[in-house]
Chains A and B, each alone.
Chain A
Amino acid sequence: MTDWVHPGLLFVVGALPIPWLSGRPRQAWLILVPVLAIANMATLVPGDYGAFDFAGVALLVGKVDKLSLVFAWVFTIMALIGTVYALHVRRPEQHVAAFLYVGSALGVVFAGDWFTLLVSWEIMAFASAYLIFAAAEAPAVRAAFRYLMVHVTGGVLLFGGIVLHGVATGSFLFGPLGEEGGLAYTLILVAFMLNAAVPPLNAWLTDAYPEATVTGAVFLSAFTTKTAVYVLIRAYPGAEILVWLGSIMAIYGVVYAVLENDTRRLLAYHIVSQVGYMVVGVGIGTEMALNGSAAHAFAHIFYKGLLFMGAGAVIYMTGRRKLTELGGLYRTMPVTVFLYMIGAFAISAFPLFSGFVSKSMVIAAAAGDQRAAVVLMLTVASSGTFLHTGLKLPYYMFFGKDCGLRPAEPPLNMLIAMGLAAVLCIGIGIFPGVLYALLPYPVDFAPYTGAHITGSLGILMFTLLGFVVFLKALDPEQTISLDTDWFYRKGARLFMWFAEKPVARWEGAVSALSDTVVLRVLHASARGGLLVDLHVVDAIVNGVARTALAWGATVRRLQTGIVSHYAAAMIGGVLTGMAVYVVFWAG
């Protein structure tokens, strides 16, 4: 036990003193915690740590192996970069939330049992939601509530699946779920896919991330979807459905990115697209494919963080987030442009940048598995990635039509954080061996072959040609796009209408009936009873009448007329019914 310190614990404990520190000491502390966590990573040795028995169930808090280590490495390094980027933020609770978020994500990564995973999973949902709430504008708060509702629902599915799985197998140790098609298998898969933002369960991400605080979005872009990729690698390697959903996902994000006008929402759609590659890798399930998924997650966290930092810097300096209101900023923000473009080249998989050495592993694994359609879909998505994050977004944000603003470069800490991420994007691209050595399986893959370089450049440069030729068609428009969140955003309204109109009317009728008829009958019968048999059974009759009166009053008090109470009671009833069904029949 003593030779192991959980890296997640460092962040959770490290979050505690933040509210009592201020100024330079707090900044020093904020840097110190992730630095210690990174140093601690170097001391971790594969093995099982923190095993204990809880009420007869064997639990394992820390399972350290190559797969958990590669994710923990990128998480801790990204935590440092994100913290540097957020160093100027004065509100302590945002730092606390970010640390709890990182800590719980690491909790998932090292979880050796399903309960540790579930608890970390739930903390992650709440801590990350705070980074959206903290933006404090009305749309952000509404988006944060939707985000939380979706993730709480996912958590319930996960919990249900875990209980069923545990009861069926007798073990709560976290590992591959073999039996395909069972209810536990499906529930957990859906919960994981929800956090990985696999369509149609993707809309929470693109709805909420762009509403988060400038610094919070950087953390959000890194952790939730990548912990989901991690648990998918652990539990569902080779699940065929993931190959197809992942391929669709890669294209889905690209299509929506064409339509998008909000800078960070465009980037969020490209999280969906990029995670698609990782999900494909999990679905193929060969050693090379799983390596590819892990490598792509590793590279992705840095370049996507860098892109969010660049777009965030623009929002921080201009207060504007729509492409239609931006443009021409390159004159006064050249360093931001330069650093952003490094992230853009990395996500687009240009040679010498990190995406080139990670994305190609997934595509090569798909080719090695003779999946022509998947290879073509992922290649189309590669073209789309460069088209949007590398061309459309920077063109309309930094170049293009001059919006007239002349903002300065962002604060130094933001530039340093972007610089750190940029160095990693290039470093991984030039020295892929360092990343490959961290991967869970031995790597037999050489990204820098002549055909691969000219092939990639051919795709990318002729995408650029298409962009230049059809630039006008890509002009951003002042619209929003309907995604699957439509169902619960409009559906909630339908539910509220239903609750306010028919249900409330029915309720009114029932209470009127009970007021006018039922109570009167009870009164009358009580009075009648008194008159008819005053002497023989008056005590009993009195008792009954009083009980009836009291009951009537209680019922009336219960009927508050507040619709949300009825809604809560209905949801509670439905959930209880589902729980009873799951426990007594479905098992």
Chain B
Amino acid sequence: MIGRIVRFFGDAEQAKRRRWLLAATLLAVFVADFFVAREHVVFFWDAISGWAALFGFLSCVAIIFISKALGRQGRLMRREDYYD
């Protein structure tokens, strides 16, 4: 059972099904956000349906590219023998 679940996420022949599963999950999560009760609205974005999806995606992209820029252009990344 565990082996089967893990293989589903690894084997190349399942790639198509994985993509469908991802698309369905994303859609479900996005749509569900429009149907929940919003009692604790502290900041303006708490009231916006779909905000979390947008913010999550943008955060992810920002983290990847800003970090890589710091690593490359910011010279944080060095050869492995830098300290030797």
What residues make up the interface of A, taking CB atoms closer than 8 Å to B? Answer: 254-256, 258-259, 328, 330-331, 334-335, 337-338, 367-368, 370, 372, 375, 379-380, 383-384, 387, 398-399, 449-451, 453-468, 470, 473-474, 477-482, 489
Residues of A within 8 A of B54 (CB): 462
Contact B66 A255 (CB under 8 A): yes
Q: Do A459 and B33 have beta carbons less than 8 Å apart? A: no
Cβ-defined contact, A479 with B59, below 8 A: no
Q: Are A455 and B80 in contact (CB under 8 A)?
A: no
Which residues of the other chain, B, contact A338 by a CB distance below 8 angstroms?
A: 2, 5-6
Chain B, residues 13-56, CB within 8 Å of chain A (1/0): the string is 00000000010011001101100111110110010001111111
> Which residues does chain A contribute within 8 Å of B39, judged by CB atoms?
449, 451
B50: chain A residues at CB < 8 Å are 458
Given A370-B42, A450-B36, A451-B39, are A387 and B63 neighbors across the interface (CB < 8 Å)?
A: yes
Say whether B59 contacts A383, CB under 8 Å.
yes
Beyond A258-B64, A328-B10, A455-B51, 16 extra complex contacts between A and B, CB < 8 Å: A259-B70, A338-B6, A367-B42, A380-B59, A399-B10, A451-B39, A458-B33, A458-B50, A459-B59, A462-B60, A465-B22, A465-B60, A466-B64, A478-B80, A480-B78, A480-B79
Known: A258-B64, A465-B26. A451 touches B78 (CB 8 A): no
Nearest chain A residue, comparing its CB with the CB of B38: A451
C-alpha spacing A464/B39, complex, angstroms: 27
Whether the pair B40, A451 counts as a contact (CB closer than 8 A) is yes
Chain B: number of interface residues, binned into ranges:
35 or more
Partner-A contacts on B (CB < 8 A)? 2-3, 5-7, 9-10, 22, 25-26, 29-30, 32-33, 36-40, 42-43, 46, 50-57, 59-68, 70-71, 75-80, 82-83
- CA A460 to CA B25, docked complex, whole Å: 11
Pick the residue among A259, A464, A468 that contacts B77 (CB under 8 A). Answer: A259
Chain A: which residue is nearest B52 at the CB level?
A458
Provide the residues of chain B in CB contact with A467, threshold 8 Å.
60
A330→B52 contact, CB < 8 A: no
Contacts of A330 in B (CB 8 A): 6-7, 9-10
On whether the beta carbons of B63 and A259 are closer than 8 Å, the reply is no
Cross-chain contact B77 with A459 (CB below 8 angstroms): no
Query: In angstroms, how far is the closest chain B Cβ from the Cβ of A414?
Result: 16
Asked if A379 contacts B77 (CB within 8 A), the reply is: no
Min Cβ gap A347→B in Å is 16
- Complex CA distance for A262 and B19, rounded to whole angstroms: 29
Least Cβ–Cβ distance between A215 and chain B, in angstroms: 24
A468–B22 alpha-carbon span in the complex (Å)? 10
Q: Is the CB of A375 within 8 A of B76?
A: no
Check A383/B56 contact, CB under 8 A, given A455-B33, A479-B77.
yes
A466 touching B61 by the CB < 8 A rule? yes
Tell whether, in the assembled complex, residue A255 and residue B63 are in contact, meaning their CB atoms are under 8 Å apart.
yes
What is the chain A residue whose CB lies nearest that of B41? A451
B52 and A454 contact, CB distance less than 8 A: yes
Q: Give the chain B neighbours of A449 by CB distance below 8 A.
A: 36-37, 39-40
> Chain A contacts of B36 at CB under 8 A?
449-451, 453-454
Q: Which residues of B contact A460 (CB under 8 A)?
A: 56
Is B42 a contact partner of A399 (Cβ separation < 8 A)? Answer: no
Closest 6 CB pairs of A and B: A458-B52, A466-B60, A450-B36, A258-B67, A459-B56, A383-B59
Q: How far is the CA of A468 from the CA of B64 in the complex (A)?
A: 12
Q: Is the CB of A463 within 8 A of B59?
A: yes
B42 touches A481 (CB 8 A): no
What A residues does B78 contact at CB under 8 A?
479-482
A455 to B49 CA separation, bound complex (whole angstroms): 9
Nearest CB of A to B78, in Å: 6
- Give the complex CA separation of A387 and B78 in angstroms: 23
Residues of A within 8 A of B61 (CB): 466, 470
CA distance A470 to B65 in the complex (A): 10
* Contact B57 A457, beta carbon cutoff 8 Å: no
Inter-subunit contact B64/A473 (CB<8 Å): yes
Q: What are 20 A-B contacts with C-beta separation under 8 Å?
A: A256-B67, A258-B63, A328-B10, A384-B63, A387-B64, A449-B37, A449-B39, A450-B37, A454-B29, A455-B33, A458-B52, A459-B53, A459-B55, A459-B59, A462-B56, A463-B60, A466-B56, A466-B57, A480-B79, A481-B77
| In the bound complex, CA of A202 to CA of B16 (Å) | 43
Of A259, A399, A451, A454, most B-chain CB atoms within 10 Å: A454
CB-CB under 8 A from B33, the residues of chain A are 454-455, 458
CA distance in complex: A331, B71 (Å) = 33
The answer for the CA separation of A335 and B22 in the assembled complex, in Å, is 23
B33: min CB distance to chain A, Å: 4
Q: Contact between B2 and A334 (Cβ–Cβ < 8 Å)? A: yes
Chain A residues with CB under 8 Å of B10's CB are: 328, 330-331, 398-399
Residues of B within 8 A of A258 (CB): 63-64, 67-68, 71
Contact check, A380 vs B7: say whether CB atoms are below 8 A apart. no
Instruction: Return the chain B residue nearest A207 by Cβ.
Output: B83
